[in-house]
């Protein structure tokens, strides 16, 4: 249990959830101390029917196994309900933890180590200490406005007009989400939100235009990278800041801007954070109308992954669906490409995938383009050509270690504009959305075109 507690606390620290980490350690330590005091105070002997192998002679009431596993299970259940958005995964984790507790309880009684009342008392102690921890030191992150210096008010209080663009399929309970946003907005001094919902026909462009025409002082967008991209493209050049509430599977823009994935924290940053001017990328090519992207574009293997994702599986297990598609697409055939940077000389390459990024990191902090910055006015290009299955291993190693040298396996380029031409129809993607196969992508970075809300 000590190892499990330390591992969980470290994972929370790495995810920048320090209050949750302190909550975890505090509850486990307090439970152990209280339980030990109770054992010594009551002084109950072990049952007479105890299994003769490895006899235990210490006091029996309450059960240490019971209090520790119950407290840990309670902590996990609390954290899962805080940070996991998929109802099915929350239910699975809750049922799993309850089963673990019941198995441990049965084990202690069937081995004769404890009376049933010992394990029940231990369970009540563990659960009670979790409740005490929630009351004394809630694990939810503190409000952004509480932990940062006040900003100079740039928008008069009388005109703090808030508009919210919501992809309704990305939240489990629209009514609950509306209540949370409305309450937090009122607390932060914003007007009652004006709500806009995306549809299958319009994934954010029309809603953003309506918010802009209505004179919004802040537009909050809740959805995946595709919805965020449409809203940001429409609000570019308007000077209206965009608050991002990440509710998709990838949420790459939010991750690269350090916007928290915890729902309330993201809303808090959108309402109370500071504005940052970031770049957008104009993109054109064969087979689609001119558009923009915020995060990354790609041709080849990465686009084949997006194209091959099973949407039903994605709804059930989230990012795991991308892993499944990635395994299926791992040996996507290499193609021939011509690349021109800043209108310069055309270079020819053989590659399995080419990614052009406005940001540097993929999910799980994978540093695919470690030098990329979303506000430097430049695009970063990486060309990957693993020749066989085993070549993916050194490629992944070099990416993780951020190795700078280039060769036929990993090549890199940088510039304001990039034109890619393929020798055959090749899958393409923008911000994780497949745009179909084609032979060209022409991209140009537009420096500082959009205002977004980021943590102070």
Higher pLDDT, 165 or 369: 165
Region 1-11: what's the mean pLDDT? 92
Same domain? For 405 and 331 the reply is: yes
Backbone dihedral angles phi then psi of residue 293, each to the nearest 5 degrees: -140, 160
The last residue of one of the domains, among 104, 136, 168, is 136
DSSP run (H or E) holding 370? none
DSSP run (H or E) holding 401? none
Question: What's the pLDDT score for residue 148?
Answer: 55
Token digits of residue 97: 């933890």
For all residues of the chain together, what is the average pLDDT? Answer: 85
Instruction: Identify the band that residue 221 occupies on the pLDDT scale cut at 50, 70 and 90.
Output: very high
Bridge partners of residue 380, in order along the sequence: 357, 414
pLDDT digits (tens, 9 = 90+) for 99-110: 999 999 999 888
pLDDT digits (tens, 9 = 90+) for 54-73: 777 788 889 889 999 999 99
Same domain? For 39 and 87 the reply is: yes
Total structural domains within the chain: 3
Same domain? For 322 and 289 the reply is: yes
In a domain, 80, yes or no: yes
Same domain? For 289 and 416 the reply is: yes
pLDDT digits (tens, 9 = 90+) for 317-357: 566 666 666 666 667 788 899 999 998 899 999 888 888 98
Domain span at residue 202 reads 146-272
pLDDT digits (tens, 9 = 90+) for 401-430: 777 777 778 888 899 999 999 989 999 988
pLDDT above 90 as % of the chain: 33
Question: What's the pLDDT score for residue 290?
Answer: 87
Same domain? For 10 and 95 the reply is: yes
Same domain? For 330 and 365 the reply is: yes
Q: How far apart are CA 57 and CA 272, in angstroms?
A: 58
Q: How far apart are CA 103 and CA 109, in angstroms?
A: 10
Same domain? For 155 and 129 the reply is: no
Instruction: Identify the band that residue 431 occupies on the pLDDT scale cut at 50, 70 and 90.
Output: confident
Least confident of 35-39, 152-156, 248-252: 152-156
Higher pLDDT, 414 or 43: 414
Bridge partners of residue 348, in order along the sequence: 338
Higher pLDDT, 414 or 399: 414
Instruction: Identify the band that residue 75 occupies on the pLDDT scale cut at 50, 70 and 90.
Output: very high
Q: How far apart are CA 304 and CA 326, in angstroms?
A: 8
Same domain? For 421 and 378 the reply is: yes
In a domain, 453, yes or no: no
CA angle, 254 then 264 then 170, to 5°: 65
pLDDT at 153 over 80: no
In a domain, 279, yes or no: no
Kindly report the CATH number assigned to the domain that includes residue 340: 2.60.200.40
Question: What's the pLDDT score for residue 441?
Answer: 92
Query: Any residues with CB less than 8 A from the CB of 380 and at least 6 apart, and which?
Result: 356, 357, 360, 369, 371, 372, 412, 413, 414
Same domain? For 289 and 390 the reply is: yes
pLDDT above 70 as % of the chain: 90
Same domain? For 355 and 301 the reply is: yes
Same domain? For 95 and 196 the reply is: no
In a domain, 46, yes or no: yes
Q: How far apart are CA 386 and CA 147, in angstroms?
A: 46
Region 69-87: what's the mean pLDDT? 88
pLDDT digits (tens, 9 = 90+) for 267-291: 989 998 889 999 989 999 998 888 8
Please give the C-alpha separations between residue 422 and each of 62, 282, 298, 348, 385, in angstroms, as whole numbers. Answer: 70, 19, 12, 10, 14
Q: Which DSSP string do the residues of 154-174 spell out, in sequence order?
A: -S-GGG--EEEEE-GGGSS-H
The last residue of one of the domains, among 136, 156, 183, is 136
Instruction: Identify the band that residue 7 occupies on the pLDDT scale cut at 50, 70 and 90.
Output: very high
DSSP run (H or E) holding 151? none
In a domain, 455, yes or no: no
The last residue of one of the domains, among 136, 164, 180, is 136
Same domain? For 335 and 384 the reply is: yes
Whole-structure pTM value: 0.72
Q: Which DSSP string do the residues of 371-395 spell out, in sequence order?
A: T--TTSS-EEEEEE---SGGGHHHH
Q: How far apart are CA 265 and CA 247, in angstroms?
A: 13
Question: What's the pLDDT score for residue 315?
Answer: 64
List the one residue out of 252, 280, 261 whose CA is nearest residue 432: 252
pLDDT at 149 over 70: no
Q: How far apart are CA 222 and CA 251, in angstroms?
A: 11
Question: What's the pLDDT score for residue 410?
Answer: 84
In a domain, 86, yes or no: yes
In a domain, 452, yes or no: no
In a domain, 368, yes or no: yes
Question: What's the pLDDT score for residue 387?
Answer: 77
Query: Any residues with CB less than 8 A from the CB of 153 and at least 6 apart, and which?
Result: none
Higher pLDDT, 242 or 388: 242
pLDDT digits (tens, 9 = 90+) for 180-198: 999 999 888 888 999 999 9
Give the pairing type, strands 417-426 and 335-341: antiparallel
């Amino acid at each position: 249990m000590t190892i499990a507690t330390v591992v969980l606390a470290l994972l929370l620290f790495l995810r920048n959830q320090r209050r949750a980490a302190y909550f975890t350690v505090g509850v486990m330590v307090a439970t152990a101390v209280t339980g030990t005091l109770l054992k010594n105070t009551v002084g109950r002997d072990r049952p007479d029917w105890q299994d003769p192998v490895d006899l235990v002679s210490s006091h029996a009431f309450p059960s240490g196994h019971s209090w520790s596993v119950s407290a840990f299970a309670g902590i996990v259940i609390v954290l899962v309900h805080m940070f996991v958005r998929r109802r099915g995964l929350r239910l699975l984790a809750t049922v799993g933890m309850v089963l673990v507790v019941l198995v441990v309880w049965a084990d202690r009684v069937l081995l004769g180590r404890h009376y049933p009342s010992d394990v029940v008392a231990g369970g009540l102690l563990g659960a009670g200490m979790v409740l005490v921890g929630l009351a004394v030191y809630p694990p939810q992150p503190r409000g952004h406005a509480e932990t940062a210096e006040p900003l100079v008010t740039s928008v008069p209080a009388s005109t703090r007009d808030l508009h919210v663009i919501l992809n309704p399929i990305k939240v489990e309970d629209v009514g609950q989400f509306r209540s949370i946003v409305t309450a937090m907005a009122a607390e932060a001094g914003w007007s009652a939100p004006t709500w806009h919902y995306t549809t299958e026909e319009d994934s954010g462009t029309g809603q953003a235009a309506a918010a802009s025409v209505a004179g919004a002082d802040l537009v909050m967008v809740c959805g995946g990278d595709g919805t965020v991209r449409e809203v940001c493209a429409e609000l570019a050049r308007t000077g209206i800041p965009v608050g991002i509430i990440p509710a998709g599977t990838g949420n790459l823009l939010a991750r690269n801007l350090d916007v928290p994935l915890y729902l309330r924290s993201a809303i808090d940053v959108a309402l109370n954070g500071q504005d940052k001017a970031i770049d957008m990328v104009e993109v054109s090519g064969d087979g689609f109308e001119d558009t923009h992207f915020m995060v990354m574009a790609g041709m080849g293997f990465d686009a084949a992954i997006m194209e091959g994702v099973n949407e039903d599986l994605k709804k059930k297990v989230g990012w795991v669906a991308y892993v499944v598609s990635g395994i299926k697409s791992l040996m996507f055939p290499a193609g021939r490409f011509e690349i021109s940077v800043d209108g310069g000389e055309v270079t020819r390459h053989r590659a399995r995938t080419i990614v052009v990024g406005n940001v540097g990191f993929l999910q799980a902090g994978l540093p695919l383009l470690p030098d990329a910055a979303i506000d430097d006015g430049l695009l970063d290009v990486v060309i990957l050509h693993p020749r066989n299955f085993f070549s993916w291993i050194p490629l992944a190693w070099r990416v993780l270690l951020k190795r700078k040298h280039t060769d036929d396996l990993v090549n890199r380029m940088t510039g304001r504009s990039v034109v890619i031409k393929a020798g055959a129809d090749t899958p393409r993607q923008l911000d994780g959305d497949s745009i179909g196969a084609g032979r060209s992508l022409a991209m140009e970075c537009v420096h500082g075109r959009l205002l977004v809300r980021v943590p102070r």
